Amino acid sequence: MIKTIDLNNSSLIDTKATSSKGNQLKWLIRNNWYKADHMGYEGLCEVVISALLKKSNIQSFVTYAPVRIAFDGKEMNGCYSKNFKKKNESIVTLEHLSKQWLANSFAKELTKYPDVKDKIRHTVDFVEKVTGMKNVGAYLTTMLELDAFFLNEDRHTNNIAFILNDDTGEYRFCPYFDFGLSLMADTSVDFPLGGDIYKMIDKIQAKPFDRDFDVQLDAAQELYGEHLKLTFSNQDIEQTFNYAKEYYNDEIITRAKNLLYYQKHKYMGVTNNS
């Protein structure tokens, strides 16, 4: 059954700086985050990917559920999730850390390093130095592994974040989140429905260290090892999409499924089911 929530009298969260594509509508209501589809089928990606991550070795990730959002005289598909930070905590992005400690955008900071390995190593060293956290290399590599598998094109420096305890000044890792612009979810600009998905894959540009997913993935793994293991089967993929028929048309569902099957075949080393 479709769940609809009326947010007509709710205040929007300003998201102009949090995505490289558009300005997705977001609300924080009673400790739940709600996000409306903006470019295509972002909500579908969030729900499906978080469901598939339940069959992986990832211990900390945000779980999303589907929702229909009524706002400004329209109804939009979307998703919602629990707020993963506590009352005494703040989300601090990599971009914010850079401006605070280096007085420079981290995206610009990365241009100083022509080699992808050097970019990744500099990022890890910088984060560990200013936050005091350990194993940042493993955390970041896992993020890049997830982004490569799910074709997430939106992992810019405002979309890598950490959690700061405002009382103690201690940092911890965010659970893995924000995979909305994965699986060619942008149907309104770059990946229109009806196009050949296998040709359009070459148009997807990774972030933030290189435009090629595998280039930045290989560099990170050479530095910090391989971490991701996915254990979902083809049957799991099919079952994960059962809910989607109430929210999305067959063309969207088929496209997202086919991309998952394609990526599962490509990265057989990180999957151990058939």
Would you list the DSSP string of 117-147?
HHHHHHHHHHHHHHH--S-HHHHHHHHHHHH
Q: What is the pLDDT of residues 84-118, one digit of tens each?
A: 999 999 999 999 999 999 999 999 999 999 999 99
pLDDT of residue 8 exceeding 70, the answer is: yes
Average pLDDT of span 57-61:
97
pLDDT class of 274 with cuts at 50, 70, 90: very low
Q: How far apart are CA 96 and CA 90, in angstroms?
A: 12
Average pLDDT of span 57-75:
96
Q: What is the pLDDT of residues 218-256, one digit of tens each?
A: 999 999 999 999 999 999 999 999 999 999 999 999 999
pLDDT at 197: 95
Question: Is the separation of the CB atoms in 54 and 45 below 8 Å?
Answer: no
Beta strands 26-29 and 32-36, pairing class = antiparallel
What rounded mean pLDDT belongs to the chain?
94
Question: Is the separation of the CB atoms in 31 and 16 below 8 Å?
Answer: no
Tokens at residue 98, please?
Answer: 């850079």
pLDDT of residue 18 exceeding 70, the answer is: no
